[in-house]
Amino acid sequence: MSDSESIKKMLMAVLQSSKTGVSVSNLQSEYSALCGEFIPLKKLGFSKLEDYLRSIPSVVRLENRMGELRCFATVLEETAHIAKLVARQKNSKKSGRSQFVNCKMRYKPFNPYMLNVTPRSSLRQPSAGRYPNWTGNRFGAHGGHTMERRMTSPSPASRENVVQMRLDVPENFHLYVGAHILLSYILSVILTLTFFMQTDLDQYDAELFQSRVKQLLEKCPSGVWMSKLSVKYSEMFMQKLHPQALIDLEKWSHICSVEKPFTSNRSDRLIYPLLSLDPPINPVININRSSPGSHLDSTRVSSHPSTSHQLTPPLAPTWTALASTHTSPDRDVLPLLKATFSSPSSSASTPPSTPCPAVVSDDMREKIKELLSKSSQGLWADALPKCFKDVYKMPFPEEILENLSSLCDICTVEYPFPHNKKRAILYYSCQVNVDLTNNQRTLISPLPSGLEALGPVVPPPLTQPPEDCPSVLVTEAKSTNALTIRYVGNNYSDAQEAMEDIMQIFYSRNSTKRPVSNPAVGQLVAVRGEDGDEVARAQVTEILDSNKVKVFYLDYGFSLETSQNSLLELHQDFLSLPFQAINVRLAGLEVFSSHPQVLSTLDKLAVGKILRMETLQPCQHSDVPTALLFDTSLEDDVNINSMCLKALQDSTMNNPLSVNVVLKDVFVTSVREDGTIFCQLPCRGKVRLRRFLENVQAFFTSQVTSESLVSRPFGGKFCLARCEDKWARAEITYMHDNRVMEILFTDLGIPATVTFTDVREIPRHFLKDFIIIPPQAVKCRLADLAVPEEGWSQEPFLLLNETLLSAKELKMKVYKGDRVVFMYLFDGGDGQKLDESINHHLAHSEVWQKVVSRNTNTVTSTGSNISGQNMDVFVPMACHPGYFVVQPWQDLHKLEVLRGEMVLYYNQCGNTSTTMDIQKGRVYAAKFDKNWHRVQVKGVLSNGLVSVYDLDYGKHELVPRNLIQPLIEEFRQLPFQAIAAQLAGVAQRQWSEETSSLFRNHVERRALVAQVESVREASELKGELSARRLTVYLVDTSSEEKDVWIHSIMADIENELSSAAS
What is residue 840's DSSP assignment? H
Q: Greater confidence, 585 or 618?
A: 585
Give Cα separations from 966 to 593, 716, 875, 918, 927 (angstroms): 48, 32, 28, 9, 12
- pLDDT value, residue 1060: 63
38 neighbors 7 (Cβ within 8 angstroms): no
pLDDT over threshold 50, residue 316: no
Percent of the chain with pLDDT over 70: 70
Beta bridge partners of 742: 734, 753
Angle between helices 764-771 and 684-702 (to 10 degrees): 160
Beta bridge partners of 796: none
CB atoms under 10 Å from CB of 326, counted, come to 26
Beta bridge partners of 781: 822
900 neighbors 931 (Cβ within 8 angstroms): no
Residues 6+ apart with CB under 8 A from 274: 254, 255, 256, 257
What is residue 313's DSSP assignment? -
pLDDT over threshold 50, residue 168: no
How big is the chain, counted in residues? 1062
What is residue 347's DSSP assignment? S
Residues 6+ apart with CB under 8 A from 547: 563, 564, 565
What is residue 523's DSSP assignment? B
Residues 6+ apart with CB under 8 A from 2: none
Angle between helices 993-1003 and 24-35 (to 10 degrees): 30
Element (H, E) at 740: strand 740-745
Starting from the edge strand earliest in sequence, which strands make up the sheet with 740-745, in order? 750-755, 740-745, 726-735, 718-723, 759-760
CB atoms under 10 Å from CB of 683, counted, come to 19
- pLDDT value, residue 1062: 57
Residues 6+ apart with CB under 8 A from 520: 454, 540
Give Cα separations from 136 to 143, 176, 870, 1039, 1044 (angstroms): 7, 21, 20, 12, 8
Burial class (CB in 10 A: 0-12, 13-18, 19+), 801: middle
Taking the C-alpha atoms of residue 708 and residue 720, their distance in angstroms, rounded to an integer, is 10
Taking the C-alpha atoms of residue 870 and residue 878, their distance in angstroms, rounded to an integer, is 20
- pLDDT value, residue 905: 87
What is residue 572's DSSP assignment? G
pLDDT over threshold 50, residue 314: no
CATH topology for 471-644 is SH3 type barrels. (2.30.30)
pLDDT over threshold 60, residue 156: no
Taking the C-alpha atoms of residue 648 and residue 306, their distance in angstroms, rounded to an integer, is 41
Taking the C-alpha atoms of residue 967 and residue 734, their distance in angstroms, rounded to an integer, is 23
Element (H, E) at 827: strand 821-827
Instruction: Give the CA angle between residues 645, 647, 653 to the nearest 5°.
Output: 105
pLDDT over threshold 90, residue 385: no
Give Cα separations from 853 to 505, 794, 900 (angstroms): 78, 16, 39
Give Cα separations from 371 to 148, 289, 415, 874, 880 (angstroms): 43, 17, 19, 34, 48
The CA-based diameter of the chain, rounded to the nearest angstrom, is 101
pLDDT digits (tens, 9 = 90+) for 957-993: 999 888 899 988 888 888 899 999 999 988 888 888 8
Taking the C-alpha atoms of residue 711 and residue 730, their distance in angstroms, rounded to an integer, is 16
pLDDT over threshold 90, residue 630: yes
Half-sphere exposure for 1009 (CA within 13 Å, toward CB)? 27
pLDDT over threshold 50, residue 194: no
- pLDDT value, residue 358: 45
Q: Greater confidence, 566 or 738?
A: 566
- pLDDT value, residue 971: 87
Taking the C-alpha atoms of residue 369 and residue 431, their distance in angstroms, rounded to an integer, is 11
Taking the C-alpha atoms of residue 291 and residue 119, their distance in angstroms, rounded to an integer, is 8
Lowest-confidence pick of 23-37, 332-346, 685-699: 332-346
pLDDT digits (tens, 9 = 90+) for 874-885: 999 999 998 999
Every domain range in the chain assigned CATH 2.30.30.140: 471-644, 655-787+789-853, 870-1058
Every domain range in the chain assigned CATH 3.30.420.610: 3-74
Give Cα separations from 271 to 225, 268, 355, 409, 429 (angstroms): 6, 10, 22, 20, 19
Q: Report which residue type is found at 856.
A: T
CB atoms under 10 Å from CB of 454, counted, come to 14
Q: What is the phi/psi pair of residue 878, to 5°?
A: -140, 130
pLDDT over threshold 90, residue 774: yes
903 neighbors 896 (Cβ within 8 angstroms): no
DSSP string, 258-301: EE--SSSS----EEEEPP-SS---PPPP---TT-GGGTTT----
* Strand ranges for 178-229 from DSSP E: 224-225
Q: Greater confidence, 815 or 766?
A: 766
Instruction: Give 112's pLDDT tier (boundaries 50, 70, 90).
Output: very low
Percent of the chain with pLDDT over 90: 16
pLDDT over threshold 90, residue 871: no
- pLDDT value, residue 731: 94
pLDDT over threshold 80, residue 595: yes
3-state secondary structure of 1030: strand
- pLDDT value, residue 730: 94
pLDDT digits (tens, 9 = 90+) for 10-20: 888 788 777 67
3-state secondary structure of 717: coil
3-state secondary structure of 801: helix
Give the mean pLDDT of 813-823: 77
- pLDDT value, residue 298: 35
Average pLDDT, rounded, for the chain: 73
Q: What is the phi/psi pair of residue 780, to 5°?
A: -135, 165
pLDDT digits (tens, 9 = 90+) for 451-489: 888 877 778 888 888 787 899 999 999 999 999 999 987
Q: What is the phi/psi pair of residue 800, to 5°?
A: -65, -45
Instruction: Give 269's pLDDT tier (boundaries 50, 70, 90).
Output: confident
Q: Greater confidence, 627 or 736?
A: 627
CATH architecture of 870-1058: Roll (2.30)
Lowest-confidence pick of 49-63, 286-300, 609-623: 286-300
Give Cα separations from 836 to 26, 680, 787, 830 (angstroms): 62, 22, 20, 10
Report the candidate in 201, 206, 324, 326 with the shortest Cα–Cα distance to residue 255.
Answer: 206
pLDDT over threshold 70, residue 1053: yes
Give CATH for domain 3-74. 3.30.420.610
Instruction: Give the CA angle between residues 300, 301, 307 to the nearest 5°.
Output: 155
Q: Greater confidence, 1059 or 143?
A: 1059
- Label the pairing between strands 224-225 and 471-479: unpaired
Taking the C-alpha atoms of residue 571 and residue 524, their distance in angstroms, rounded to an integer, is 10
523 neighbors 558 (Cβ within 8 angstroms): no
Q: Report which residue type is found at 801.
A: N
944 neighbors 960 (Cβ within 8 angstroms): yes
In CATH terms, 655-787+789-853 corresponds, of 2.30.30.140, 2.60.40.1930, 1.20.1070.10, 3.30.70.2740, to: 2.30.30.140
Instruction: Give 935's pLDDT tier (boundaries 50, 70, 90).
Output: very high
Hey, which of 198-207, 346-355, 935-944 has the most confident mean pLDDT?
935-944
Lowest-confidence pick of 65-79, 115-129, 405-419, 1035-1049: 115-129
Element (H, E) at 57: none
pLDDT over threshold 60, residue 93: no
CB atoms under 10 Å from CB of 664, counted, come to 11
Give the mean pLDDT of 825-849: 77
854 neighbors 942 (Cβ within 8 angstroms): yes
